[in-house]
Structure 1
Amino acid sequence: MNQVGSLCRCILCHDYGDSGDRHPMELTTIRHVQQHGWGVTTIPEDDKGPGWAYTIGLWHTHRMPELAIFGLDVELSQMSLNELGDRASDGVALEAEQARDDAIKGYQVHLKSIDYRWYKAFFGRAIAFYRRPPIPFLQVVWPDRQGRFHWDSDNDAQLHRRQPQLWNRPDDHPAGVWTQDL
């Protein structure tokens, strides 16, 4: 077992004795992590709110934080996360407070640390895979069409509806679609 594997308590690195009881989606995640180093889980938009996507396996394979993106089309989200995952596999660090121009063509994004209190609400498959949260997660925060972010003045109000501010504690997050089930 390599050094990463010796530090990891995920279902690939540790025998939890339940391998015969795996859900088909869990088996798909395992296969993606084994073949590609990570997988992307997508949750499509529905009548409750915008969709989102997140990685599982970047921490296992590269000791890089897992990534999540909210409010975009899930196919674009998956492509963006895979682009950043490719950079991680090339050894390019993924760190909180980074500005990146390699996730969404024509736009800069920011990586923000996600408060662990949000994990249960949004990252259930990752918790099941790692079995030992919290593992680091970064939110890929995208701007409005004018390049303005949540923290910039005069930003498009849709930013707040389309993507949460998971770098804030749940108690400090503005009420809305992202907090209704907490």
Structure 2
Amino acid sequence: MHDDPAECRCVICHDYGDRHEADALDLRTLEHVLGHGWSVVTVPPDEEGPGFAYTIGLWHSFRTPEVAMFGLDIHVMRTCLNTLGQRAAQGRTLSDGQRCTDVIAHHSLALKAVDPRWHRTFFGSAISFYRRPPFPVLEAVWPDREGHYLWQDESGHSYRKSQPWLWLEPAEHPVGVWTTPL
């Protein structure tokens, strides 16, 4: 935990006087952050697009960025994010450009800093917890079967659409399932 509550404006560090209005997800998130240091929010796939998951509380508890994953089974993503949360709890740094092994079978995840302009699109529950963006978020990008990442020329066309490219500004992101045409 950080020592100076003034540096964090989350619902744990600052009393906004509205905890009685919290819904079940907010209360579960609070319970997990207080008990474990973080929580994982999962958004299942639906008719609009693939599922995704992200952490809430890593920034509050360990001063390491929150982490998000996209396009895999939500249970797989939850497991991966909890593994990364455990690393943060052990004092291991999570940072932009880092490759993380032993998180997903047979490959490493690449961590990329998310442009803060994506926060309102994907991280609404985290905004409710922190009460304002921006807070740092890393996208955990998984490779294709051959170990290529989205930005590598060797990766296939359909794989390149499997995850958003949140390190890009929204205006630079290709239009697709992860974006809304402007």
TM-score, normalised to structure 2, is 0.96
Question: How many residues align structurally?
Answer: 182
**Which residue number in structure 2 is paired with residue 137 of structure 1?**
137
Deviation at 1:110, TM superposition (A): 0.6
- What is the DSSP-based 3-state SS (H/G/I as helix, E as strand, rest coil) of the residue aligned with 1:162? coil
Are positions 1:5 and 2:8 aligned together? no
**Which residue number in structure 2 is paired with residue 115 of structure 1?**
115
Q: Deviations over 1:69-91 (max 9, x none)?
A: 00000000000000011011001
Cα separation, 1, equivalents of 2:5 and 2:160: 38
Are positions 1:73 and 2:61 aligned together? no
Deviation at 1:118, TM superposition (A): 0.5
Cα separation, 1, equivalents of 2:167 and 2:81: 18
Cα separation, 1, equivalents of 2:102 and 2:6: 31
Are positions 1:47 and 2:76 aligned together? no
**Which residue number in structure 2 is paired with residue 93 of structure 1?**
93
Cα separation, 2, equivalents of 1:20 and 1:106: 45
What one-letter code is carried by the residue in structure 2 that aligns with 1:68?
A
Cα separation, 2, equivalents of 1:39 and 1:74: 14
What one-letter code is carried by the residue in structure 1 that aligns with 2:95?
E
**Which residue number in structure 1 is paired with residue 156 of structure 2?**
156
Identity %: 48
Cα separation, 1, equivalents of 2:51 and 2:173: 18
**Which residue number in structure 2 is paired with residue 174 of structure 1?**
174
More moved, 1-10 vs 67-76: 1-10
Aligned residues of 1:5 and 1:60 also touching (Cα < 8 A): no
